[in-house]
Structures are given as C-alpha cells and as structure tokens.
Amino acid sequence: MSFRIIQFEGLDVFLKNDENNISIFFENAHIKKTMDDAEEKTLWKQSGSIELRGITKKNNSIPRRLKILSINISYDFYTYKNILMLPFHKRGDIELILNESKENLDINCCEIEILLSDQPKYIKHIKKKE
C-alpha cells in the first residue's frame, strides 16, 4: 500500500489567526513516501499549512512564529505525535499541543486539515536502515 507521512518536529512555522481559526504555515516539511513493492522509501519536501477551524479553546496568546519541538494531535482514541499520514482531514473534538521551547500552546478545535501547496520536491532515496 502506498502512503505518505509528513514530519513536523523541528519545523519553523508562521501562525495567522482570526477569532475562530488558526493557520499554521510551514515551508519544506519532510514527507516520507512509501510505494507498493518498492524496496526503498523516498524523502520529499513540500510547503503548506495546518488549518485549525472552529477554535473552542486556546490556553494563551498565539505567537506569530515558532519552531515546533513537538506536536501532539488527539482525536478519538488516537494521539498523533510529530507525524501525520497524508491526506489528513479530521472533524470532531481535536486537541493540538505545540511545544515551543518553554511553554506549550494548547488548542482545541472542531476541524483540522493539512493543505499542501506547490509541487513536492525530491530529496533522496531512504535506505531500509535509515
């Protein structure tokens, strides 16, 4: 089965928010792609955004820029940590925790979606041991 996984750890992001929504813009996030019957994975980079819609709770003021040290997204019984399988679009009660240096940014929302822009750019093949 083919699938793609986007990695967020260590990613510099820019946040833009209004009353009910937050957009978290990123550039050159790493995406690992696994293809059916392929012996090696491939590594790509692509820009885009994490769209948080219907914000119901924020624990503090939203900074404009930050580096994601870790990201946790809780949805149903699952917690996604630092990586998400693409495409990613969930609706329901969602908790997002961004760890930026000393304090966490804790947000609850009704919908989260990863939107990718531009074309992905190939970086390299990943050997089985990596």
Q: Give the residue extent of every domain in the chain.
A: 3-126
Please give the model's pTM, rounded to 2 decimal places.
0.89
Q: Are 84 and 78 in contact (CB under 8 A)?
A: no
Q: Are 15 and 39 in contact (CB under 8 A)?
A: no
Residue from 66, 85, 38 nearest 107 by CA? 66
Rounded average pLDDT over 76-103: 86
Q: What is the pLDDT of residue 39?
A: 79
Band the pLDDT of 101: cuts 50, 70, 90.
Answer: low
Among residues of the chain, what percentage have pLDDT more than 90?
A: 51
For 51-65, the pLDDT digits (tens) are 999 998 877 677 788
Q: What is the pLDDT of residue 100?
A: 67
First to last CA, the chain: 20
Has residue 112 got a pLDDT over 60? yes
Cα separation, 118 vs 29, whole angstroms: 12
